[in-house]
Amino acid sequence: YALSGLKWHKTDLTWSVHSYPSPSQSPNLPDILVDNILRSAFKAWSNVAPLNFRHVATDSGGTAAGGDIRVSFNRLFHDDGYPFDGQGGTLAHAFFPGSAEVAGDTHFDDQEVWSYGGDSSSTDLFAVAVHEFGHALGLSHSSSDPSIMKPYYQGGVGDIVNFQLAVDDKLAIQQLYGVRDTAPSDGGDPHLPRLPSPPPPRPTQLSDPSFNERCQGGFDAVANIRGEVFFFKGAQFWRTKRDGSLVSNRPAQIQNFWMGLPPQTNKIDAVYERKSDSHIIFFIESQYWVFKDTEAMSGYPRPLSDWGMMRRNGQPVDKVEAAFIWAHNGKTYLFSGGEFWRFDESQKRQGVHIQPESGYPRDNSLWAGVPSHMDDIISWGEGDAYFFKDNFYWVLKNGGLNQEVVTPQSTAVDWLRCPAPPAEPTPVDPRFPKQCNCELNR
């Protein structure tokens, strides 16, 4: 077993339910049954350790409830920094004991189909509740088998009245609170205390001197590296994680992170991560560098001519404006001067320079609906291609090249945690100044 290092310094604990599963999602779980399931889940722990759990009720409005362990059913973002993800995936979480206001709080994803002894299409509330209350009491995830503290959902536990913890879990809770030598109370209390509601969360106000630079867009290069998106601008870059959060509001210095680029580097033209060996390729003017992790490999920079890209007018390419691997086919695409070339790097051999596939270059206009001179491109999400230009991005759905409508969206707002600009009236089309611009009634 594994312990979090935190525990309650008392053995009489109260619990309350702030919200119940939505009837539309979990129709077979009336509130009273939820209470009973949760009570039984607490009992699984109090059967083996000297803990007493007392249920405290909500007030008549159903909102003001307190207690040490506050249970709620929430959806997606619910103001605790740990958003849920809809049906499947994450099911629930709980906060470890402590003095923090959220300590012990237990949240279940309301978009799951919760059940009492249901089939595999639903999720057994009792099994998950025993697991989460284990966290609320101080236990971490266990790799032991069997253990209710394994992180993965293992299905229902059968008869909940006679459920017993595995030896691993008993030892864990007894390590924290000792061994129970008397029968536990049943958790009922005729005098249900009413406790005040916690104050609403207050957002933290941060000052950020690089705010304007980050939020005005116009990035030199954008790249999906190791599952994060890097936005390069001047001598700096920002990083966005897959969950949409920034590694830092402040930019990092390219020079301090990517070792081996020229000291005066203040503009990256394009970057991508090569999938065949996870090396990272940087293009700056007429040269390129290959990085193993954050260090340039020996022998670089090399001239762009290694790539064998010739324009249709017979001139060699002297600059790469955008580069990405299209998840749709795993091929590498390099863009320059309104044209693009395609490479199959899975065929690359050591020491041999790769050449473009035949039939290239082609015209950027083939990527209909997106700017023909983009800042950069990445594959992201479900294999979609994201085109960045100025402070906007366009998404071509997986494999799509010629979508009917591609609407630009704000890079600053969607990727760099910038506030949305105030709403402005729809601009008049300069070509038809007197014409109505309403799409609904034409």
Judged by beta carbon, residue 144 or residue 286, the one nearer other proteins is 144
Minimum distance, C-beta of residue 112 to other proteins, in the bound complex (Å): 8
Interacting residues with other proteins between 32 and 71 (CB under 8 A): none
Phi, psi angles (nearest 5°) of residue 244: 95, -5
Q: Does residue 7 touch other proteins according to CB under 8 A?
A: no
Structural tokens at position 320: 């790469």
Minimum distance, C-beta of residue 327 to other proteins, in the bound complex (Å): 4
Among the residue ranges 17-25, 62-70, 234-242, 357-365, the one whose residues contact other proteins (CB under 8 A):
234-242
**Strand ranges across the sheet with 362-363:** 322-326, 331-336, 339-343, 362-363
Q: Does residue 317 touch other proteins according to CB under 8 A?
A: no
| H/E element, 256 | helix 254-257
| Given 23, 63, 79, 90, the residue binding other proteins (CB under 8 A) | 90
What letter represents residue 330's amino acid? G
Judged by beta carbon, residue 197 or residue 248, the one nearer other proteins is 248
Q: Does residue 243 touch other proteins according to CB under 8 A?
A: yes
Judged by beta carbon, residue 82 or residue 178, the one nearer other proteins is 82
Minimum distance, C-beta of residue 421 to other proteins, in the bound complex (Å): 27
The C-alpha atoms of residue 271 and residue 12 are separated, in whole angstroms, by 58
Q: Does residue 275 touch other proteins according to CB under 8 A?
A: yes
Q: Is 106 helix (H, G, I), strand (E, B) or coil?
A: strand
Structural tokens at position 233: 């601008």
Nearest of 312, 311, 239 to residue 271 by alpha carbon: 239
For residue 287, give every residue at least 6 positions away whose Cβ sits within 8 Å of its Cβ, in sequence order, or none.
301, 302, 303, 304
Nearest of 248, 246, 296, 244 to residue 271 by alpha carbon: 296
For residue 407, give every residue at least 6 positions away whose Cβ sits within 8 Å of its Cβ, in sequence order, or none.
394
Judged by beta carbon, residue 56 or residue 387, the one nearer other proteins is 387
Q: Which residues of 414-435 are buried (b: 16+ CB within 10 A; e: fewer)?
A: ebbbbeeeeeeeeeeeeeeeee
Q: Does residue 262 touch other proteins according to CB under 8 A?
A: no
| Given 17, 48, 71, 94, the residue binding other proteins (CB under 8 A) | 94
Q: Which residues of 223-249 are buried (b: 16+ CB within 10 A; e: fewer)?
A: bbbeeebbbbbbbbbbbbeeeeebeeb
Structural tokens at position 68: 């040490």
What is the x/- site pattern for other proteins, positions 327-346, by CB under 8 A? xxxx---------------x
Q: Does residue 181 touch other proteins according to CB under 8 A?
A: no
Catalytic-role residue among 112, 132, 273, 339: 132
Judged by beta carbon, residue 27 or residue 257, the one nearer other proteins is 257
Q: Does residue 136 touch other proteins according to CB under 8 A?
A: no
| Given 34, 49, 69, 128, the residue binding other proteins (CB under 8 A) | 128
Minimum distance, C-beta of residue 64 to other proteins, in the bound complex (Å): 27
Among the residue ranges 125-133, 178-186, 264-272, 359-367, the one whose residues contact other proteins (CB under 8 A):
125-133
The C-alpha atoms of residue 34 and residue 43 are separated, in whole angstroms, by 14
Q: Does residue 77 touch other proteins according to CB under 8 A?
A: no
Q: Does residue 197 touch other proteins according to CB under 8 A?
A: no
Nearest of 14, 21, 19 to residue 136 by alpha carbon: 14
Q: Is the dihedral of CA 146, 150, 154, 158 positive or negative?
A: positive
Minimum distance, C-beta of residue 145 to other proteins, in the bound complex (Å): 6
Q: Has 132 been annotated as catalytic?
A: yes
For residue 234, give every residue at least 6 positions away whose Cβ sits within 8 Å of its Cβ, in sequence order, or none.
220, 266, 267
Minimum distance, C-beta of residue 120 to other proteins, in the bound complex (Å): 10
Structural tokens at position 428: 């008049």
For residue 80, give every residue at least 6 positions away whose Cβ sits within 8 Å of its Cβ, in sequence order, or none.
102, 105, 107
The C-alpha atoms of residue 168 and residue 410 are separated, in whole angstroms, by 51
What is the x/- site pattern for other proteins, positions 138-157, by CB under 8 A? --xx-x-x-----xxx----
What is the x/- site pattern for other proteins, positions 374-413, by CB under 8 A? -----xxxxx--------------xx--------------
Contact 225, 237 (CB under 8 A): no
Among the residue ranges 31-39, 41-49, 244-252, 263-271, the one whose residues contact other proteins (CB under 8 A):
244-252
| Given 186, 218, 257, 437, the residue binding other proteins (CB under 8 A) | 257
What residues are annotated to the active site? Answer: 132
**Residues contributing to the site for other proteins (CB under 8 A):** 4, 82, 84, 88-94, 123, 128, 131-132, 135, 140-141, 143, 145, 151-153, 224-228, 239, 241-243, 247-248, 252, 257, 275, 278, 292-294, 325, 327-330, 346, 379-383, 398-399
